[in-house]
Amino acid sequence: MVTKKKTSTRTARSTKASGFSRNMAYKSKKSKSQNIAIFALAATVLFMSVGFAAYATTLNIGGTNNVTVKKAVWDIHWAGKSGASPAETGTVTETKGADLGEVTRASDTSVTFTATLQKPGDEYEFTVDAVNAGTFNAGLTSVVLSDASAHANYLTYTVNYDSQTFDGTSGTTSFTPSPASTLAAGAQKTATVNVKYIQPSNENQLPKDGDVTVTLTAAFNYDQITN
């Protein structure tokens, strides 16, 4: 009986050892499978990273000598400038009393005129265009007229520009346009000059001691608009 018990004990030990070996073998296979799975996953992630990095695009803007800065030009003048481009066909135009006076474009910046008014009601008028052929916008800062107020009883002298009238017989000689007057680059505006012999309420105010000669001038002052 004792012998049988020892045999049974050895058999049990052998069975346990066999089960332990099988368990270790299973764990080893499982560990290898897990390692293989981890390696495969890492390889997949690496492949995806490399794959995404392989796609790249650069969008360019530019060129060669593709920006030109035009030269600055300041050119304000009376219409009719020789060699202007486009050509300027007009100079000055007499609109009233052409038989009473004469107007001449003396230079790019000067117009001269003469008139002989013989009796009340005689009137001489002409127009001339101010042209901005430059690259800057210009603003008319002032109009300065000669003082003809001493002859206001029998003479009117007015200059109209950009819908504003400046009176040379008002006693004021320097006028600031209000609202501001802009002469944009490439644009032109018309100035109208008018002189008229008028009948005063008191005829004794008429010139009777001889002809009266009056000097009438007008200066248009322009500045560059910087904003």
Give the residue among 98, 173, 99, 188 at the shortest CA–CA distance from 140: 188
What is the structure's pLDDT at 4? Answer: 47
Model pTM score: 0.72
51 DSSP β-pair partners: none
Domain borders along the chain are 1-65, 76-224
Q: Residue written as tokens 């109208």?
A: 192
pLDDT value at residue 224: 97
Structure confidence at residue 199 (pLDDT): 96
For 150-162, the pLDDT digits (tens) are: 999 999 999 999 9
Tokens of 206: 């008429």
Task: Quote the CA–CA distance of 146 and 143 in Å, as a whole number.
Answer: 10
Contact 141, 222 (CB under 8 A): yes
Non-local (6+) Cβ contacts of 212 within 8 A are: 151
Q: What is the pLDDT of residues 92-118, one digit of tens each?
A: 999 999 999 999 999 999 999 999 999
Residue 88: the pLDDT is 76
Distances (CA, A) of 167 to 157, 161, 194, 214: 6, 12, 10, 15
CA distance 90 to 79: 6
| DSSP-derived 3-state class of residue 221 | strand
3-state SS, one letter per residue, for 158-188:
EEEECCEEEECCCCCCEECCCCCEEECCCCE
Domain 76-224: assigned CATH number: 2.60.40
CB burial of 164-188 (b: ≥16 within 10 Å; e: otherwise) equals eebbbbbeebebebeeebbbeeeeb
Q: Where do we find the tokens 């030109």?
A: 68
